[in-house]
């Protein structure tokens, strides 16, 4: 007789960390559905989470680690043996070339396994390598730079459910569930907020799912967010809508900011961004006057990909600060912790600190370690550039450089040049197909988990993380497939450390991964090579200073929202810290934006369209692109285009086209999308094959990264190149 068990669990495909019901029949994961008994999610899930059985049971899933053979094919290898060989090779490389020759790159598929990056980071430190990279610096690195230069407000964020207005810039949280509004059932949260009267303002070149619900949707040409935000600030200052008391008590740099935005008049900004003249003024007024509690201003990838990401993120913070949009003395403590340490929220600033220039120097483009982490866009060059310090070995964990890194051809050359490429991946990803070893890990419902990472994300950026003091713990819910030989991400690095006789000091803090501020000191857990530790124990150790003991959390198997009856404390009498809205570097950059001749940028007839990014509702970056239930029958990435633009170019639906930037070209097909501006096209990333392969774009799509030159238009602090706002042409494809 078959046996079916249904238990609560946590989907961790994305940072929302939805509480779900997990059904296992005869040892096989058969169903993942919303958990109506979960107090935060109340039964909510998205199609990706519901497809966890397809991910777990994917016939393409690797059940054994793989080793590349001399003829380029792969053969299974026992994971312990793979660790022996990899540890030997790393030891040799470190001895010959020094620790800097070994790099680690952590991607988004570690979200379910936060122990992985923490232990990998400890491993990098233990061998003495500074070359620890994450996808953050090709994502939203402007956030950490901006927060460093602006400082943090220790009273906390305004609750989305209490704000009278809210601004979103280049983020579509209804799909991405990531940044801007709480990612836990964002559609419902937004519906409730709008119902109670909150005024949403969205800045996006596309009528995104989120923009469609906005009171005011500013639909500008891409890349003009810094000008638009400067324009909003200018209107607010001119109309005396600032919170002068908050500014006097807590903020430096107001005069510098006011002077710098003065020339961003509504006339100038609206012409430059190509938006209706009155719209900017209306949006500025609405944000401040919608009610007594103006809310927050958040951006995400749209803004960070379009150049001037640090500045634009900084202006988002400045806009909140000039109107005093933070929790104040006597107001309730929002976002109290549960699995992170208790803290006292105070109505005061944590002062600005340097955002970059510390730690490791890259050998290319003058880049350094920064608050956002090491510049991933420069890693290919570090691998390709001969000489002292050259990277010879790369370990990729839950990441896929060949579909994610800008400049795919350069990435390919770099992967080929490495002496050792290891991926830890559940399938033969495009990058894995080039690896020397592919380490096969357990999948998320086969390992225990907590919601600590989702909570911790607030330290990585305001606008992310959990809105409530909510926590859940889930044990292992399904056994790995019979006959498999699988490890876990952290156990792989631990296995290497044991073989290399290294002590690991695991620091439970995003500082090493991007994000620099936490109220309480982080947990540091030391692991010497002789210790035996299970994943359950490691998770418990990382919760050692949590406000709510992990054992308590574990007793509420459907998750629990903990009471918080604290209010924001007054400023310490001796506190002299102030936020800064007039950082000199940012003000200079704003001046440089103002000095740009935007007419020139608009008028290159060779590349008349702008290519922007967008997220796919049922895929997570490259994850799921080959799963039929998730890819909508399209295992490729179309180029979305307004029907009028298609007509103008003589292109019909599904017409094969070439998308060209000044740097390179890729094949695609056209898909009609009337949510776009006429001069903008959009593509999903995460698709495509090797640059050497045939153009099988209808089978696996195209690499958008191939259109991007990492040495042009890159941010001098974080290194992020233009991943969006790319001038392109779209022309019919012959044959
Ligand atoms: N052109 C362009 N480029 C972009 C972007 C864009 O929008 N446009 N977006 C950028 C952004 S924001 C990001 S974050 C990066 C993403 O960059 P990456 O994180 O490097 O890319 P992903 O596609 O998320 O790679 C995830 C990999 O993990 C594997 N995987 C899936 N599940 C598991 C698991 O359970 N365990 C392990 N170990 N592996 C697993 C998948 O098979 C896949 O190979 O790309 C960036 N690059
Ligand atoms: N379903 C799903 N969820 C995901 C992911 C996924 O692949 N699928 N990926 C995850 C990852 S790694 C990340 S980083 C987050 C990203 O989360 P988001 O940043 O919210 O990503 P998008 O949903 O693409 O929203 C970006 C928006 O920016 C707009 N945009 C493009 N260019 C510009 C510009 O120049 N200015 C302005 N103002 N807007 C612009 C686009 O039209 C788009 O609507 O999502 C995460 N969640
Ligand atoms: S929103 Fe994210 S965490 Fe929730 S079910 Fe979807 S993929 Fe999973
Ligand atoms: Mo991302």
Residue whose pair of structure tokens reads 């950082």 in the numeric block: 583
Entry field: residues in the chain: 735
Which residues have their alpha-adjacent CB atom under 5 A from ion ligand 4? 139
Position 88 scores a pLDDT of 98
Q: Are 300 and 175 within 8 A, CB to CB?
A: no
Ligand 1 center to residue 26 CA distance, Å?
32
Nearest alpha carbon, ligand 3 atom 8 = 49
Among all bound ligands, the one having the nearest atom to the CA of 705 is 1
CA distances from 574 to 153, 329, 519, 570 (A): 16, 16, 18, 11
Ligand 1 atom closest to Cα of residue 108: 19
Predicted TM-score (pTM) of the model is 0.98
Helix (H, G, I), strand (E, B) or coil at 470: strand
Contact 442 CB / ligand 3 (< 6 Å): no
Compute the distance from residue 302 Cα to the ligand 2 centre, in Å: 6
Q: Are 475 and 507 in contact (CB under 8 A)?
A: no
Q: How far is the CA of 169 from the centre of ligand 2 (A)?
A: 10
Residue with tokens 């309730």: 332
Given a contact cutoff of 8 angstroms between Cβ atoms, the answer to whether 487 and 80 are in contact is: no
pLDDT for 632: 84
Please, which residues have CB within 8 angstroms of residue 601's CB and are 6 or more apart in sequence?
Answer: none
Q: Residue 574: which residues within 8 A CB-CB, separation 6 or more?
A: none
| Ramachandran sector of residue 654 (left: φ over 0; alpha: ψ -120 to 50; beta: rest) | left
For ligand 4, the distance from its centroid to the CA atom of residue 371, given in whole angstroms, is: 17
How far apart (Å, rounded) are the C-alpha atoms in residues 443 and 488?
8
Give the number of other CB atoms < 10 A from CB of residue 291: 14
Please state, in angstroms and rounded to a whole number, the distance separating the CA atoms of residues 543 and 117: 16
Distance CA 507, CA 121 (A): 8
Q: Is 530 exposed, middle or buried (CB count within 10 Å of its CB: 0-12, 13-18, 19+)?
A: exposed
Give the pLDDT confidence score for residue 464 in this predicted structure: 87
Q: Which residues of 413-433 are buried (b: 16+ CB within 10 A; e: fewer)?
A: ebbebbbbbbbbbbbbbbbbb
CA 156 to chain centre: 21
**Whether residue 203 has its Cβ less than 6 Å from ligand 2:** yes
**Is 322 within 8 Å of 581 (Cβ atoms)?**
yes
Structure confidence by residue, pLDDT tens digits, 622-634: 988 888 888 888 8
Cα 261 from Cα 273, distance rounded (Å): 15
C-alpha to C-alpha distance for 191 and 174, rounded to whole angstroms:
11
For residue 616, which atom of ligand 2 is closest to its CA? Answer: 8
Q: Is there a contact between 340 and 547 (Cβ–Cβ < 8 Å)?
A: yes
Instruction: Indicate if ligand 2 lies below 6 Å from the C-beta of 615.
Output: yes
Q: With a 6 A CB cut-off, is 615 part of the ligand 3 pocket?
A: no
Q: How many CB atoms lie within 10 A of CB 402?
A: 25
Q: Give the C-alpha separation, 265 to 280, whole Å.
A: 10
User: What is the CA(311)–ligand 4 centre distance, in A?
Assistant: 19
CB 150, CB 352: distance < 8 Å: yes
Lookup: tokens for 137: 């610096």
Ligand 3 pocket, residue 174 CB under 6 Å: no
State how far the Cα of 278 lies from the Cα of 256, in Å rounded to an integer.
26
- DSSP bridge partners of 424: 397, 439
Collect all residues with Cβ–Cβ distance below 8 Å to 648 and sequence separation of at least 6. none
Of 700, 524, 730, the C-alpha closest to 609 is 730
Concatenated DSSP letters of 600-647:
HHH--TTS-EEEEE---TT-BTTBTTT-TTTTTT--S--EEE-HHHHH
What pLDDT was estimated at residue 564? Answer: 87
Instruction: Write out residues in the chain with pLDDT < 50, as ranges.
Output: none
Nearest CA to ligand 1 atom 25: 399
Residues 625 and 326: their CA atoms lie apart, in Å, by: 40
The answer to whether 138 touches 404, Cβ cutoff 8 Å, is yes
Dihedral pair phi/psi, residue 586, rounded to 5°:
-70, -40
CA of 52 to the centre of ligand 4 (A): 20
Q: Given the CA of residue 13, which atom of ligand 3 is nearest to it?
A: 7
Which atom of ligand 3 is nearest the CA belonging to 52? 8
CA-to-CA distance for 409 and 59, rounded, in angstroms? Answer: 29
Contact 298, 463 (CB under 8 A): yes
Q: Find the ligand nearest to 403 CA.
A: 1
Please tell me the distance from the alpha carbon of residue 546 to that of residue 264, in angstroms, as a whole number.
46
- Residue 512 CA to ligand 4 centre (angstroms): 17
Q: How far is the CA of 136 from the centre of ligand 2 (A)?
A: 14
Q: How far apart are CA 230 and CA 273, in angstroms?
A: 12
| pLDDT value at residue 601 | 67
Ligand 1: nearest atom to the Cα of 136? 14
CA 47 to chain centre: 20
Q: Which residues does a 6 A CB cutoff place in the pocket of ligand 1?
A: 107-109, 112, 135, 138-139, 301, 397-401, 403-404, 424-427, 429, 441, 443-444, 489, 613, 621-623, 685-686, 704-705, 723
> Nearest ligand to the C-alpha of residue 14?
3
Mutate to test the pocket of ligand 3, among 15, 34, 177, 630 (most ligand atoms within 8 A of CB): 177
State residue 515's pLDDT score.
Answer: 66
- The Cα-based distances of 210 to 170, 179, 291 in angstroms read 10, 12, 21
Got the DSSP string for 670-696? EEE-TTB-TTEEEE--S----TTS---
Q: Ligand 3: does its nearest atom lie under 6 Å from the Cβ of 49?
A: yes
Q: What gap in Å lies between CA 260 and CA 233, rounded to an integer?
A: 10
Smallest CA separation from ligand 1 atom 19, residue: 107
């Amino acid at each position: 007789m078959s046996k079916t068990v249904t238990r609560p669990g946590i989907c961790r495909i994305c940072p929302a960390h939805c509480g779900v019901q997990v059904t296992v029949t005869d040892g096989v994961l058969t169903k993942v559905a919303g958990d109506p008994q979960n107090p935060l999610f109340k039964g909510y899930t998205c199609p990706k989470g519901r497809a966890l059985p397809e991910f777990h049971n994917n016939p393409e899933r690797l059940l054994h680690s793989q080793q590349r053979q001399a003829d380029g094919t792969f053969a299974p290898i026992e994971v312990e043996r793979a660790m022996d060989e990899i540890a030997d090779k790393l030891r040799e490389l470190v001895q010959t070339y020094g620790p800097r020759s070994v790099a680690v790159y952590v991607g988004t598929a570690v979200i379910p396994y936060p122990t992985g990056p923490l232990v990998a980071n400890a491993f990098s430190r233990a061998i003495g390598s500074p070359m620890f990279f994450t996808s953050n610096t090709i994502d939203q690195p402007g956030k950490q730079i901006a927060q460093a230069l602006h400082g943090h407000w220790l009273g906390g964020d305004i609750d989305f459910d209490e704000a009278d207005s809210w601004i979103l810039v280049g983020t579509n949280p209804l799909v991405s569930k990531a940044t801007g509004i709480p990612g836990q059932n964002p559609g419902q949260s937004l519906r409730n907020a709008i119902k109670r009267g909150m005024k949403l303002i969205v800045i996006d070149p596309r009528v995104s799912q989120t923009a469609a619900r906005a009171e005011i949707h500013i639909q500008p040409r891409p890349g003009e967010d810094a000008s638009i935000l400067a324009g909003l600030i200018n209107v607010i200052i001119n109309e005396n809508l600032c919170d002068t008391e908050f500014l006097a008590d807590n903020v430096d740099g107001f005069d510098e900011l006011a002077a710098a935005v003065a020339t961003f008049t509504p006339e100038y900004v609206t012409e430059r961004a190509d938006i209706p003249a009155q719209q900017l003024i209306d949006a500025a007024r609405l944000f401040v006057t919608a009610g007594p509690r103006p809310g927050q201003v958040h951006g995400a990838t749209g803004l960070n990909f379009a150049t001037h990401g640090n500045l634009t993120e900084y202006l988002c913070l400045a806009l909140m600060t000039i109107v005093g949009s933070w929790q104040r003395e006597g107001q309730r403590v929002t976002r109290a912790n549960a699995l992170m340490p208790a803290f006292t929220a105070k109505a005061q600033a944590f002062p600005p600190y340097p955002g970059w220039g510390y730690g490791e120097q890259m050998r290319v483009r003058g880049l350094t370690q920064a608050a956002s982490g090491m510049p991933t866009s420069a890693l290919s060059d570090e691998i390709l550039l001969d000489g002292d310090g050259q990277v010879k070995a790369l370990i990729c964990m839950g990441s896929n450089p060949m579909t994610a890194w800008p400049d795919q051809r350069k990435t390919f050359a770099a992967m080929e040049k490495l002496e050792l490429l290891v991926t830890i991946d559940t399938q033969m990803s495009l990058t894995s197909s080039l690896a020397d070893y592919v380490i096969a890990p357990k999948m998320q419902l086969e390992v225990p988990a907590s919601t600590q990472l989702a909570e911790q994300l607030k330290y990585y950026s305001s606008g992310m993380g959990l809105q409530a003091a909510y926590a859940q713990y889930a044990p292992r819910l399904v056994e790995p497939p019979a006959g498999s030989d699988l490890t876990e991400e952290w156990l792989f690095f631990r296995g290497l450390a044991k073989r290399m006789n290294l002590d690991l000091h695991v620091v439970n803090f995003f500082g090493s991964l991007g994000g620099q501020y936490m109220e309480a000191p982080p947990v540091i857990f030391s692991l010497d090579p002789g210790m035996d530790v299970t994943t359950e124990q490691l998770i418990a150790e990382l919760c050692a200073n949590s406000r709510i003991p992990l054992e308590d959390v574990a007793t509420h198997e459907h998750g629990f929202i903990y009471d918080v009856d604290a209010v924001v404390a007054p400023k310490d009498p001796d506190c002299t810290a102030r936020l800064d809205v007039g950082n000199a570097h940012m003000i200079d950059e704003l001046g440089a934006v103002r000095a740009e001749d935007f007419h020139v940028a608009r008028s290159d007839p060779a590349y008349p369209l702008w290519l922007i990014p967008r997220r796919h509702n049922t895929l997570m970056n490259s994850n799921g692109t080959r799963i039929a239930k998730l890819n909508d029958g399209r295992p490729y990435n179309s180029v979305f285009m307004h029907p009028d633009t298609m007509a103008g170019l003589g292109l019909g639906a599904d017409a094969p086209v070439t998308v060209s930037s000044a740097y390179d070209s890729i094949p695609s097909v056209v898909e009609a999308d009337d949510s776009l501006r006429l001069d903008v096209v959009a593509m999903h990333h995460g698709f495509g094959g090797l640059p050497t392969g045939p153009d099988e774009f209808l089978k696996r799509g195209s690499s958008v990264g191939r259109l991007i030159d990492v040495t042009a238009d890159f941010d001098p602090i974080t290194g992020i190149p233009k991943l969006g706002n790319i001038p392109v042409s779209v022309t019919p494809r012959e044959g």
